[in-house]
Amino acid sequence: MADSTGLQFVSPYAFAAMQKVDVVRLAALSDPELRLLLPCLVRMALCAPADQSQAWAQDKKLILRLLSGVEAVNSIVALLSVDFHALEQDARKEQQLRHKAGGSNGESILVSQLQHGLTLEFEHSDPLRRLRLTLSELLAIMNKVADSNGEFFLKSSELFESPVYLEEVADVLCILQAELPSLLPIVDVAEALLHVRNGDWFLCLLVANVPDSFNEVCRGLIKNGERQDEESMGGRRRTEALRQLCQMNPSQALNIRAMVVEECHLPGLGVALTLDYKPDMADEAVSPLVSYVSGLLLGTNGKVRTWFSMFIRNGQQRKRESSSVLWQMRRQLLLELVAILPRSRSTHVPNDSDMGEESSSGYSGLREEHVVKASALLRLYCALMGIAGLRPTDEEAEQLLQLMTSRPPATPAGVRFVSLSFCKLLAFPTLVSTPEQEQLMVMWLSWMIKEEEYFESAAGVSASFGEMLLLVAMYFHSNQLSSIIELVCSTLGMKIAIKPSSLSKMKTIFTQEIFTEQVVTAHAVRVAVTNNLSANIQGFLPIHCIYQLLRSRAFTKHKVSIKDWIYRQLCETTAPLHTQLLPLIDAYINSILTPASKANPEATNQPITEQEILNVFQSSAGQGEGGRGGRLRYTITTQLLILYYILSYEENLLSSTKALALMQKKPKSYSATLMDQIPIKYLVTQALGLQQELGGLHSALLRLLATNYPHLCLVEDWVCEEEVTGTLPLLRRMMLTSNTCRYTQSQLHQAFQKLPSSSPRLMRILEHLTLLSPGDLIPYAEALTASTALLLEPAVPRRILQTLNKLWMGLNTVMPRRLWVMTVNALQPSAKLLRQQRYSQNDLMVDPLIVLRCDQRVYRCPPLMDIVLHMLNGYLLASKAYLHCHLKETADFDRQNQTVSSLGLAGQPDTPEVTREELKNALLAAQDSAAVQILLEVCLPTSEEQQLGASTESLLKSMRAPPGKATPGYPVAGAGPGARRSGEQAEPEGGLLSDLREVQCLICCLLHQMFIADPNIAKLVHFQGYPQALLPLTVAGIPSIHICLDFIPELLAQPQLEKQIFAIQLLSYLCTQYALPKSLSVARLATGVMGTLLTVLTRAKRFSFFMPTLPCLVAFCQAFPPLYDDVAALLVQVGQVCASDVATKARDIDPLIARLQYLKEKPQEVLLPGGGSSKLSLPQRTAEELGGSDPDVQLCYRVEATFMDIISSSLNGL
């Protein structure tokens, strides 16, 4: 506002005195300064104060004394003597009148007709009329502002423009606002004053006389302001007014600037306030202007960034004006840049001797205290040019290039400055426009390469700019320009739009003058690995460079070995895991297995040797599956990475066998001996607790284990791990003090050897071991497993066996493979029966059934049988994975060899692959079914147990019919329901609580899991068949056996009579256990099959078939009463066929036929009411008599007995 130049504004000193009502400071003001504050001071002196303290009374006297000598006070006192209430009423009436008239300047209630201009009227008027004149003019402006809809206008007002009466008008304005605050809100008055000349001066006087309204006025002006203030005259006037207010109260300037950013209005004001702000210590910190503009453009608020970028872009479109805030900002930034430039810098390119003098004398060196400022300026200019679209002038570009090619001291800040300068060159290559500038840049890049190692060692940082140079060179060679752009944006910390085409000049310089590809690979191998590499180390590291070179296959192309570097870097890692390590390992494995080109299949990297891998695990060779040793030499992170490398290498090798076979190339696989020495499960368990620090390594290891080592991923093991690592075990271990670990392995071994006399001591030792963590149990593993066979003696307490089982399951969570081998070898039969053999891990994977060739006593020791079943399940899975890998390893190479050898031969069959797969599946099926059959055989009671009364039916009795009902499959010729009840009553004392029962439950649980995992196993086992005595056990104990209903029809269709009998017996138990619609349909089918077979079987086969299957019809009818008619018809038909055969031998069988017909037609009359005896008595015959009878006679009596059982069971169920 140039119109207010020459007017005296309120000084910061005077405003501070008014804010604090500091009378002493007010008294020190000059008369012109005091004149501006008179309205407030006079009101303060005349009005009754709220503060009645003595101190204020004294201050008030001083103010009166201060005002007593000022002549203008009298006119202000006269103004205060007016009736403001009447004045306000007239003003409101005038507002209503104007509102009705549509805002036109018609009649005025406040001011009658003016005889002269406003200025003369004001001069000749009394105080009241002066108030009316000013109020009328002010209200007119305020109304026009309200009706302008945001469009700026400048109101020409004689009253506010006359320099003679400005002070009197200001007095009237201040008094009006103070006395009529509801009519004249100070924010609205301030807004109106922007539309008159000298408005900023009036505004400052108004706020100075009401100092507590400063923030309110500023916020109102900012909120009503324009988004881009330099675009319009109104915006510039508003900015200038707020700038004058902040000069009057500089302590609030930064707060006002914060309001500007918050509202995203008046960006020029924010910059102007920053330019006006002078810090106390300018040389010791980054300048306020750099900090402010950088915060706007590089902050997280996208709205603010867009708003300020628009300010920069719009400001460049106008002609260069010295008064423009944008050009003032650019000039200030350039001055700051020039101030920190090294002296004597120019675009002159010195020769080699000059360079030597430079390095020795410090020529062109950036001072250490200026490095941070220089980095901040570089980032700011990057943001201005890349985000806000600033187009630098020639002078700015020249000075920027001088700064970027400066040589900072070897400090961490210096490394950061060089990285920023390099990235700025890549982001804005247009800064280099002349050949001299290009030569200067090349010399600077050469200096970077030469000084990189010195900077890294002197600065003490792991991430230097050398790695970035190397990485950019690799990207240029592989034409990955998008990766260079990402690298630049990441280093600068901002997203900049860089066109790949703009990098063509830099690409030429890098690939042809500075870094050829051979130089890149040779240099990369010599770069030292990063010590203690972790995610905490930021920046670009050697690992980034090696990774890119591996991806581009530069090492194999130029025959440079990288294996040793990668191995050293993997050994120098720690948590948290660096994100580049897993991609590095994957790229390395790919470079080992896949040649760089088909023309040169030998162009691959070398894998890490087995000895190097063993060195990593040698400190933990006693740990996990290999025991537990002393202090770790390598970190757990290194060991997990090496484990990931091995597992991933083996998986990729299997998946690449076909491609490798075509190239007649077979990389070496790691031996099983090596894998046995690596504590896989222990390491994965450790990784589970470090998931936050290891990133995705734990999940990647689990994926590889599930593929290659499924026996280490059993669900039961995971559940057991939860029990071992849960809250309760942790609390128990917290109670275990370090000095209580007093038992050694030898003491444990001795306690085992002295069993059973040492049972109490052994129990104490084992109970103590349960308090230890699985990792701490590892040293005791050998002593625990070696003496397991001693626990099979009869006098060993059950509690010791259960505790040993618990300890074994805990050890199984950390060292399963080695533990399994030790346990299998320990449970072999004694040397008296069989020559003992020490089995290896490979032996057990090839033949999992070795696990079941243990001491027979184990089969009646439930805690140890649980362990054996766990191992069997694991080795069956391991065998599947082993055979799959073996087939995959050899199939492709063998087929390729056959193809090569059979060239030229016609009619060569292409079936080896199919044959191999079929043989493998057949072997696995035979293996699984053999295991199931052995386990089922174990469930049968021994002869001693049978003598004691044990029966496999015991498991079923608790779940089947109550006493008196038939048990299908177990009838004896001539035995009725009463005989079966007496058999149940003969069950030995102790009932179901026996070792056999517990072993049966364990086996049924495992079979249930196996049937669920592969239903084909259940089908194969039941097609093979097993003892009929086991059917009650399997049907009741294996929940998933109901799937047999799917293939029983197929089993019934088999030609072998034994399979048909087994199918019907199995179906009878399934119908009772699972009375489902599907069971009904299969039972109806079975009844039909029996009827069909009756007509085709010979006399001998008929007896063999129907004697065991007829009692099964009892279960059919018991489960499904609708089948009664079909079953009864079948029984009569069987009886008739048999009776006809008997009749040919002149035997009287008619009474039997008559009884069968009667049973079929009137079954309800067979039993008397009250359960009495039958009307048709069944003759009692001894077993000897029946045994010597004719087969048809026996079958006839079996039919009759079946009828009676059906009727008895149905009537008992009513």
Task: Kindly tell me if the per-residue pLDDT of 912 is higher than 80.
Answer: no
CA-CA distance, 383 to 389, in Å (whole number)? 8
Task: Kindly tell me if the per-residue pLDDT of 274 is higher than 80.
Answer: yes
**Cβ-based neighbours of 49, under 8 Å, separated by 6 or more:** 56, 60
CA-CA distance, 281 to 248, in Å (whole number)? 22
CA-CA distance, 742 to 498, in Å (whole number)? 69
Amino acid at 790: L
Rounded (to 5) percent helix, strand, coil in the chain: 70, 0, 30
Token reading at 284 = 């010791």
322: DSSP letter: T
CA-CA distance, 294 to 304, in Å (whole number)? 12
Q: DSSP strand E in 1028-1185: where?
A: none
Q: Which of 256-265, 277-286, 511-520 has the lowest mean pLDDT?
A: 277-286
Amino acid at 1135: G
pLDDT for residue 906: 45
The chain-wide mean pLDDT, for the chain, equals: 77
Q: Which pLDDT tens digit goes with each residue over 49-101?
A: 777 777 777 777 777 877 777 777 778 888 888 888 888 888 888 878 777 76
List Cα–Cα distances, 929 to 205, 876, 1018, 1023, in angstroms. Answer: 103, 11, 8, 10
Cis peptide, bond prior to residue 756, ω within 30 of zero: yes
Nearest to 852 by CA among 999, 696, 1024: 999
Q: Which pLDDT tens digit goes with each residue over 212-263?
A: 999 999 998 888 888 887 777 888 888 888 988 998 999 888 899 999 999 8
Compare 1210 and 195 and report the one with higher pLDDT: 195
Average pLDDT for residues 1081-1086, to the nearest whole number?
Answer: 91
**Cβ-based neighbours of 987, under 8 Å, separated by 6 or more:** 949, 951, 954
Cis peptide, bond prior to residue 576, ω within 30 of zero: yes
Compare 27 and 619 and report the one with higher pLDDT: 27
CA-CA distance, 311 to 297, in Å (whole number)? 11
What's the number of CA atoms in the CB half-sphere (13 Å) around residue 563?
Answer: 15
The length of the chain in residues reads: 1214
Average pLDDT for residues 780-806, to the nearest whole number?
Answer: 86
Q: Which pLDDT tens digit goes with each residue over 310-356?
A: 988 888 877 666 568 888 888 988 988 888 887 644 443 334 444 34
Reported as a pLDDT band with limits 50, 70 and 90, residue 390 is confident
Task: Kindly tell me if the per-residue pLDDT of 963 is higher than 50.
Answer: no
pLDDT for residue 349: 39
pLDDT for residue 200: 87
Compare 870 and 464 and report the one with higher pLDDT: 870
Phi-psi region of 795 (alpha: psi -120 to 50; beta: other; left: phi over 0): alpha
Nearest to 1060 by CA among 1042, 1078, 1033, 1087: 1087
Average pLDDT for residues 955-981, to the nearest whole number?
Answer: 37
Q: Please state at what angle helix 798-812 crosses helix 715-724, rounded to 10 degrees.
A: 110
979 CB-contact burial (10 Å; exposed 0-12 / middle 13-18 / buried 19+) = exposed
pLDDT for residue 603: 64
Nearest to 44 by CA among 170, 175, 173: 175
CB burial readout 247-258, b (16+ within 10 A) else e = bbbeebbebbbe
Distance of alpha carbon 82 from the chain centroid: 76
Reported as a pLDDT band with limits 50, 70 and 90, residue 543 is confident
Average pLDDT for residues 757-778, to the nearest whole number?
Answer: 82
pLDDT for residue 596: 64
Residue position matching structure tokens 């690979």? 521
Compare 577 and 1142 and report the one with higher pLDDT: 577
Reported as a pLDDT band with limits 50, 70 and 90, residue 1162 is low
pLDDT for residue 1035: 92
Average pLDDT for residues 578-604, to the nearest whole number?
Answer: 77
Task: Kindly tell me if the per-residue pLDDT of 184 is higher than 60.
Answer: yes
Reported as a pLDDT band with limits 50, 70 and 90, residue 362 is very low
pLDDT for residue 898: 53
pLDDT for residue 698: 82
Average pLDDT for residues 419-446, to the nearest whole number?
Answer: 82
pLDDT for residue 37: 83
Compare 961 and 917 and report the one with higher pLDDT: 917
pLDDT for residue 1069: 93
CA-CA distance, 1205 to 968, in Å (whole number)? 10
CA-CA distance, 377 to 286, in Å (whole number)? 9
Q: Which pLDDT tens digit goes with each residue over 454-492?
A: 666 665 555 566 667 777 777 777 777 787 888 888 888
pLDDT for residue 542: 75
Nearest to 1088 by CA among 1114, 1061, 1052, 1118: 1052
Q: Which pLDDT tens digit goes with each residue over 614-653?
A: 888 875 544 444 443 333 467 888 888 888 888 888 888 8
| Number of Cβ within a 10 Å radius of residue 93 | 12
Task: Kindly tell me if the per-residue pLDDT of 129 is higher than 50.
Answer: yes
**Cβ-based neighbours of 265, under 8 Å, separated by 6 or more:** 222, 223, 225, 226, 227, 229
**How large a percentage of the chain has pLDDT more than 70?**
77
pLDDT for residue 1049: 92
Write the DSSP string, 1007-1051. HHHHHHH-HHHHHHHHHH---GGGHHHHHHH-GGGGGGGGTHHHH
Quote the longest CA-to-CA distance of the chain: 162
Task: Kindly tell me if the per-residue pLDDT of 1150 is higher than 60.
Answer: no
Q: Which of 447-461, 1015-1029, 1113-1127 has the lowest mean pLDDT?
A: 447-461
CA-CA distance, 200 to 7, in Å (whole number)? 10
CA-CA distance, 905 to 487, in Å (whole number)? 58
pLDDT for residue 724: 58
CA-CA distance, 758 to 738, in Å (whole number)? 25
CA-CA distance, 261 to 269, in Å (whole number)? 10
**Cβ-based neighbours of 1070, under 8 Å, separated by 6 or more:** 1035, 1041, 1042, 1044, 1045, 1048, 1079
pLDDT for residue 985: 37
Reported as a pLDDT band with limits 50, 70 and 90, residue 1173 is very low
Write the DSSP string, 1066-1088. HHHHHHHH---HHHHHHHHHHHH
Reported as a pLDDT band with limits 50, 70 and 90, residue 930 is very high
460: DSSP letter: T
Average pLDDT for residues 750-767, to the nearest whole number?
Answer: 80
Residue 1174 β-bridge partners: 1167
CA-CA distance, 427 to 381, in Å (whole number)? 11
What's the number of CA atoms in the CB half-sphere (13 Å) around residue 1091?
Answer: 14
Nearest to 139 by CA among 166, 99, 170: 99
pLDDT for residue 869: 92
pLDDT for residue 1066: 92
CA-CA distance, 509 to 477, in Å (whole number)? 11
**How large a percentage of the chain has pLDDT more than 90?**
7
**Looking at beta carbons, which pairs linking 1075-1084 to residues 24 or more positions away fall under 8 Å?**
1075/1119, 1075/1120, 1076/1042, 1076/1045, 1078/1045, 1079/1045, 1079/1119, 1079/1120, 1080/1119, 1080/1120, 1080/1122, 1080/1123, 1082/1045, 1082/1048, 1082/1049, 1083/1116, 1083/1119, 1083/1120, 1083/1123, 1084/1123, 1084/1126
Nearest to 84 by CA among 6, 198, 172: 172
Cα Rg of the chain (Å, integer): 50
pLDDT for residue 990: 43
Average pLDDT for residues 902-910, to the nearest whole number?
Answer: 45
Average pLDDT for residues 657-672, to the nearest whole number?
Answer: 70
What is the three-class DSSP state of 155?
A: strand
Nearest to 537 by CA among 589, 575, 569: 575
Q: Which of 408-417, 941-950, 1198-1207 has the lowest mean pLDDT?
A: 941-950
Token reading at 1065 = 């017996």
Evaluate whether 22 touches 16 at the Cβ level (below 8 Å): yes
Evaluate whether 165 touches 172 at the Cβ level (below 8 Å): no
Average pLDDT for residues 353-363, to the nearest whole number?
Answer: 38
What is the three-class DSSP state of 701?
A: helix
